[in-house]
Amino acid sequence: MNSLISPEYAALNKQLHHERADFGATAGKNAQFVIYYARKYGLKSVLDYGCGKGTLKVACATQAPDLNICEYDPAIEGKETMPAGKSDFLVALDVMEHIEPDHLRAVLRHIQGAGAKAVMLVIDLKPASKTLPDGRNAHLIVQPGKWWLNKLRKHFQVLHSEEGNGTLLYLGRPLPSRDAA
């Protein structure tokens, strides 16, 4: 499947974003990690992939105004198109577990081919406290860190990974594009 998100699931996410101020509003809590790794690897521009309400951009504007933050989220009006140009650092914070399972490969390939020098993924490994309007848990993929690492290694060279408190932090460099599974 080449699609990144089904129209039905995009509509459910748009509805949840509209109904809940706290949905898609947690990325800002990871700003210090994004800033740290951007500076460590000399990365100047960041693509917040699955940006939600844009809290990472707001946090970085005050903490690291030198970082250029672009945003993409297929469920947010005005942010549903990938920004033109390439960013050095693609971050997906609390995004991957929300992907429809049959779209995960397409999303990983999309991230891999986005042209970033490095990626940072923060993935929740446990069910969400929120439910979708159709009653499903908001985390559609709940898998252990080892499962995620096996998926990610097909698309990225690991730079750093650590697991704790039900979360996986993963930093990697995109591998050359190929038909990854």
Residue 174 forms part of a structural domain: no
The segments of the chain whose pLDDT lies below 70 read 1-2, 20-25, 178-181
Q: Are 58 and 28 in contact (CB under 8 A)?
A: yes
In this predicted structure, what is the pLDDT of residue 38? 96
Number of domains in the chain: 1
Residue 172 forms part of a structural domain: no
CATH number at residue 123: 3.40.50.150
Residue 175 and residue 139: Cα distance in Å, rounded? 27
Residue 29 forms part of a structural domain: yes
Residue 131 per-residue DSSP state: B
Residue 35 forms part of a structural domain: yes
In this predicted structure, what is the pLDDT of residue 76? 85
Residue 112 forms part of a structural domain: yes
First to last CA, the chain: 12
pLDDT in tens, 120-158: 999 999 999 888 889 999 999 999 999 999 999 999 999
In this predicted structure, what is the pLDDT of residue 1? 44
In this predicted structure, what is the pLDDT of residue 117? 96
The pTM (predicted TM-score) of the whole model is: 0.91
Question: Which residue range forms the structural domain that includes residue 80?
Answer: 7-159
Residue 137 and residue 30: Cα distance in Å, rounded? 23
